[in-house]
Amino acid sequence: MPKYQIVLTAENVDCCPLYKAGDKIVLDFPQVDLEKTNKVCAFVIAELMKHQMQKDKNMICELREEMSDKAEFLEEFGLEEGPITCPRMTTGVSFNLEVTEHEEDISFIHDEMFIGRQDKREMINKLRKIPILSTVTADDLFDALGEIRLKKYEAGETILKKGDKGRSFFIIYNGEVEVVQVYKDGMESVIVKLESGNCFGEMSLLTNEAVSATIRASVPSTMLSISKEGFRQLMDCAPNMRLMITKLLAKRIKDTNHRVGLVVASGMVGQLHTIAFPELVQTLSSTESNGILYVKNDKKQGNVYFQHGQIVDTELGDLVGEEGFYKMLEWKKGDFRFSQKETLERERTIPYDTMGLLLEGMRRLDEQTRKWKSSDVQL
């Protein structure tokens, strides 16, 4: 839904002790946008808002969220675009009033000169009403605010394109998206539709692989976009958020019936270039599988042990536990076979849950890649 600001631009101000021509007052109702406002005049704002002061204060604060178009906004506020005169000056001091649409951004400048603590607190409270962020502490959300954006998409607009590198994690704030599989001949099929509260984009961030399907808004929609750095930051500090994402993935896989029947079937075999190792691990975790994943890369073979979808141990030559897992994360090619077990008796050697293990593994790979690039530059 569009968001509007009231912009007052000083024009005839020869006798005004406060403003010079071109100065602006910007109202991001019910707040004054202090970053865009040159100076604040209480008299001008009072004159502008006198129509609204007669209304119930709770209704006033909800108005901005309910405006569907600019004309409705102007009517509801009792405004007309054009010149307005300062009520305290008799010499014709005036401003030009216009209403502009802008993209809402919930990233705040971390400077109390511009944004007060109360404003940040209110935004954090709004974020924590979103189910997937409800378990993140206020302090952790405060630290991550700079990595979060609110983005709007029209119906039919592409949010993620198959083959692109994943750079953000998305939460559907409102609206609906469709997950589309695009084939080589140009044909498309909708795999599943996701509604408000759902999320997408996490797999490409966890695996460092390209986006595996195109995501498109099926109706006008608003997304919370969290950068790769912000996503990992939140996942590190909020284990319950990792659990919620795992459950959402499990539901998505179940709803689409995508790969589940194959992956959990005893004796199932495949190749890592068709299903990346991190994606395979995440799928087994989401389906709460019990069994052993055998992975072979050239002459090396690794075993990954799953209990109720959690990795409890690994073996890869002399490497065991999480170190064996991190090494297998580097494999881009190879064969795998999953052997399902009704129960699996194996002592747990890995302290992380599966999502945490993936995050730590991908962080190590990123650090390794940066070191290689740094070495290349020095050479």
pLDDT tens string 321-347: 999 999 999 998 999 999 888 778 889
- Read off the pLDDT band of 293 (50, 70, 90): very high
Residues listed for the chain: 379
pTM over cut 0.85? no
Q: Which two tokens stand for residue 196?
A: 């408000």
Cis peptide before 131 (omega within 30 of 0): no
Q: Is the pLDDT of residue 72 over 80?
A: no
Tens-place pLDDT, residues 131-144:
788 888 888 888 88
Buried b or exposed e, range 14-40, using 16+ CB within 10 angstroms: eebeebeeebbbbbbbeeebbeebeee
Closest CA to 44 of 71, 13, 14, 67: 13
- Would you place residue 59 in the very low, low, confident or very high pLDDT band (cuts 50, 70, 90)? very low
**Does the pLDDT of residue 284 top 80, yes or no?**
yes
Return the CATH number of the domain spanning residue range 117-256.
2.60.120.10
Q: Where in the chain is the domain with CATH 2.60.120.10?
A: 117-256
Q: How far apart are CA 151 and CA 157, in angstroms?
A: 12
Q: Please give the Cα distance from 70 to 256 (Å, whole number).
A: 40
Alpha helices in 208-238 (DSSP H): 228-237
